[in-house]
Structure 1
Amino acid sequence: MKLSHGSAALIIAWFAVLGSIQAVTFEVKEGNSTCIKAELAASFSITYNTSGSTRTVQVPLPDSAAVDAGSSSCGTDSSSPWLVAVFGPGHALGLSFSNNGSLYSVANLTLQYNLSDASVFPDANSSDVVTLVSSSVGIWATINTTYRCVSPSTFGIGGATVTFSDMRLEAYMLGNDLSPTESVCTADQASTTAPPTTARTTTTPAPAPTPAGTPERGTYSVKNGNGTECLLAQMGLQLNVSYFSLSQNKTIQDLVNLAPNLTSASGSCEASSATLVLTQEQTTTINFTFTLNSTSNKYHLSAITLLANWPDMTAPFSASNTSLDYLRSTVGRSYMCNAEQTLFVVAAFSLNTFRLQVQPFDVTTNQFASAEECQMDQDQMLIPIIVGAALAGLVLIVLIAYLIGRKRSHAGYQTI
């Protein structure tokens, strides 16, 4: 990102002392037309190194933050729309957007901070400008609607976190004002649909989800630039989602199977990360991000994002967790788990997998490498072995007891 410079140290310090963060308005224009508009408050929790220790600072987005015209754009056929807000000497917040024709989302969240700014990072042992990028943060909405999330939403990004609140934004706009039709985030839905508190409150638990049966196993893959497959996956997927039902006028828990024949796969493969995106009929999108640790030569599933817009929902549902540690295996091998396993993402969303095998790195000949099995599969194989061994031991004990009994019986008839 190309950044402008100017000091906002006093404003940052004033906000930090006051402890209040106000929403700032940003607009990205092309001529006289607005393509991105955002009203939001944000704060950043950043950990940095000092001589012999680490320190964490809380940095609010000041109201002096402004759109960087050189880095922001409405996008082209070959580039994404970008909103880049700059503040202070070398600090910036960036949002890039993408859409699939019916939904738009924040494709990348970028935070840049300048460690040489001593007013924000006192005693830092580096003067570097650090840039952190996180994908699939779960901010999305239906095209021609405004994304609204008044409740605080925190996203991990490298060694920092970004917390948004009082957020209203829209990309791919038709007019210059935010759409009056809103796509409301899950946190706001929970707060607005909660029953009023009375002197005597009866709590009705959400009904158990209706069994959806075992999902069909799908085969998915991602290809790199030269057309060869770089990520392979076979699995049955079942979504366990809690949302506010329009027909029942209450929060329900629903089990929904992903149908492979209605689902398309896309994604990307990088040196240290790989992404698999599954889209079912433009109503359900699941994004899996795998991360490679080159030091340990291990990879794992580090993030899952769900975007759902089902007919019975009062508003689109979104959930994301970028600090997961599932499906861990060694580079050059696949991960396999035939047993049903549950991947907990957030309180309102978990994912059940069936007959899963995945390999996000070092795919050769378009086939899975030898598999490392999950603990549940190993335990299932171990149980018959233990039972068999126990039965064999029992038979051996009975046989020994029988032989001892016969020997004693014969000994009673010997001549004196």
Structure 2
Amino acid sequence: MTLALSRPMRESAVGGRFGAFGGRFVPESLIPACAALEEAFREAWADPSFRQQLDMFRTVYAGRPTALTPAWNLSAELGVTLLLKREDLAHTGSHKINNVLGQALLARRMGKTRLIAETGAGQHGVATATAAALFGLRATVFMGELDIARQALNVFRMTMLGAEVVPVTSGSRTLKDATNEAMRQWVSSVGDTHFCLGSVAGPHPYPWMVREFQRVIGDEARSQCAAELSTGAPDVVVACVGGGSNAAGTFAGFVDTGARLIGVEAAGGAAMTDGTVGVVHGSRSMVLQDQQGQIAEAHSVAAGLDYPGIGPEHAHLGAAGRAEYVTVTDEEVLAAVRRLARAEGIICALESAHAVAWVLGAAGTDRLPSGSTVLLTLSGRGDKDMGQLQEMAALREPGVRVDAAAGRAHPGAAAVPGGEVL
């Protein structure tokens, strides 16, 4: 049975609910901060001058609108029309700048002088550090120790921009734990600090607010598809999902069309597929947890998807039958990075490659019939992952040495599926 969607992708209901999901499950000490943030966002979002200022920074600073690029070669190979929404071309290299510019402007409007943020792949941390530098704010970014090791380039970028990067050594030392530490810090410093949450997760108003800052992706893509496609809208809209901000922003532009909405999770951290209803980081959603309600560890080759939950609006869209959530494996993701690079000359982020991997595997089947038109949000570029991919290529076959200085693997380097050097 398909559930009704009330005011789909516009605003959450009273109390920040998306159907049975969402809400505000935080310590009593944070209730006033969340309420003040909601009030400030409502006022700002209704203020034409705030919207105009944000649009100006998105245009002249972040480089919007981003391109809609036909994937000509893959389209011919797969038998579908594949269009890429190029968030990888935005300033800082991903969609994260859309949300952070909005939150930084809001923080300044509220009189805050410091931003704190959580990050996994580091792209949200880089975007936060970037906006802090632009607007004269201090920035502290919490990042799991494991993610610091596999995303060293982004750590250096953050420090270059003037941010303090705080290693998180608890738990799995990944995104979940970084978010825990950022929320603890917010409790103790809410007077002058804004918690710049990077996804459509967390307590109300974050899932709604972040989606509104990211809906520029879907709004642009809808207009671009209308000009590109004779049908006006694609048959299928695909995006990767961890917490799910790039997917939420994309889906917002197409939820009232007939397009299928496909969110692609990591097989090792699939909250929609393997999770149950629970509470994580302040909202009720689908969560990876044990029978006692303890949050389980997720795994993904992509640090940005290494998260044990999903945004509450995604949980609602899935329960309502409006969006489908699927998984791909690490091996499929690595193969997708290579194939997109070789076919189109585009090296995407490991996170984005989850969406690419699904299209590659589904094309020509009943999941994605030949002749379909597909919009895929390429949420970030792969520069940040080059070191990780080099190391993985070396580790796949004992004795393989990677020449980092020359940027190549020596002959005999291990291959991803398909037999080519990674």
Higher radius of gyration, 1 or 2? 1
Asked which structure has the greater RCO (Cα within 8 Å, sep 6+), the reply is 2
Q: TM-score, normalised by structure 1?
A: 0.28
Q: Greater strand percent: which structure? A: 1
Q: TM-score, normalised by structure 2?
A: 0.28
